[in-house]
Amino acid sequence: MKVLEIRNLTKRFDDFIAVDNLSLAIEEGEIFGFLGANGAGKSTTINMIASLLHSTKGEIEILGKNITRYSTFAKNNIGIVPQELAIYEDMTADENVSFFAGLYGLRGAQLKKRTDEALEFVGLKDKAKSFPKNFSGGMKRRLNIACAIAHRPRLLIMDEPTVGIDPQSRSYILESVKKLNKLGCTIIYTSHYMEEVEEICSSIAIIDHGKIIAEGTKEQLKSIITNTKDIWIEVTSTEALKAEKIKEINGVNTVEVEENLIKINFNAEVNSLNKVIQKLMENDIEIRSLDAHEPNLETVFLTLTGRNLRD
C-alpha cells in the first residue's frame, strides 16, 4: 500500500522553480530519508504534502486519496514535525499536546488518553504540567513530536528534528522514530546528518534543484558509485594545500580538506593517486598515512551533487 504518492509536482515562486516536476512514492512501513542541501526544495515539498502550501502543478495522494479532494482525510492521516518549533511556551506540555490533538478532532476522554500516551512516548510524562519555556532544546523538540503524533497519523513527516540538540535527546528521538515505525507509522525524515539517515532510513531520495536525482535503499544508492573509491590522506599540514589544484587532476571527482585530512574521491578506472601524491610533494606537503575507505552516503551525495550536504 502506498502511503504517499506524488506525481509531477511543481512549485514556482514567480520565475523561480523550487520543486520541478517531482514524482515520488512511499510504501507503508518505510522510514524514508529525504536528503538535499540547503535550498534543494525539501521544505517546499513537505509543505505541499502537508497542505500548508499550494502546488503550481501536479498531484499528491495520501493512502490513495487526493489531498485536495479529500482534505480532511489527508489532514487526519498526516502528522508534521516542522523545522521551526511549533509549541506555545505559556501553555503546559499537556495543554500543548491537547491543543494540537484537538485540531484533529479528538475530544474528551480520548483526547486525554492520547495526550498522555504521546507525552509518555517522548519521555515527558513527568513534565506534563510544566511549561516548555523552562525546557531544554531537546525537550522542546520532543514535545513538538508529541504534538504531531497524538492523533496517530499513518504518515509522520519530520523536518530536521534533531537540529541543535544535545546528543542524549538526539538518540532519544532516533529511538522514538524507530519505535513509532514498528507501531506501523510511515515516516519521512529529513536531516543534514548523513549518519542518522544511514542508521534509521530504509529508503532514501536525494533532491537537488527541486528534482529527485537518486532514489533507493542505502545499498542501491551506494552501488551507484562502485566505480569510484575514497582515499583519505593524512598530512602534517594542509596550510600550503590548494584543493583546486588536486581537483584538476584527471580522475579526481571531489576533494575535501578537514584539518590535516584530505579526503579524495577518485574514479576507480583512472589511476590518479600517483599524480595526487606528486602534487602534494611538489608543495612540500608531508604525508603521514593513506587509507582506503568504503563509500558512505556522504560520498554518494557528494558524487551526485558535487556538494557537501552541510555547507
Ligand X SMILES: Nc1ncnc2c1ncn2[C@@H]1O[C@H](COP(=O)(O)OP(=O)(O)OP(=O)(O)O)[C@@H](O)[C@H]1O
- Give me the residues that bind ligand X (CB under 6 A), please: 13, 16, 18, 36, 38-44
> For ligand X, which is the closer residue by CB, 40 or 87?
40
Q: Assign residue 174 a region: left if phi > 0, alpha if psi is -120 to 50, beta otherwise?
A: alpha
Packing angle of the helix pair 93-103, 137-149 (nearest 10 deg):
30
> For ligand X, which is the closer residue by CB, 39 or 64?
39
**Residue 191 CB, nearest distance to ligand X (Å)?**
10
What DSSP element (H or E) covers 32?
strand 31-35
**Residue 137 CB, nearest distance to ligand X (Å)?**
18
If you search the block for the grid coordinates 506525481, which residue do you land on?
A: 7
Q: Which of 173, 172, 168 is nearest to 158 (CA)?
A: 173
- Cβ–Cβ under 8 Å, residues 235 and 289: no
- Cβ–Cβ under 8 Å, residues 15 and 33: no
> For ligand X, which is the closer residue by CB, 81 or 124?
81
Tell me the chain's radius of gyration from C-alpha atoms: 23
**Residue 65 CB, nearest distance to ligand X (Å)?**
25
> For ligand X, which is the closer residue by CB, 13 or 126?
13
C-alpha distances (whole Å) from 24 to each of 4, 177, 206 are 8, 22, 11
**Residue 41 CB, nearest distance to ligand X (Å)?**
4
> For ligand X, which is the closer residue by CB, 111 or 188?
188
**Residue 308 CB, nearest distance to ligand X (Å)?**
13
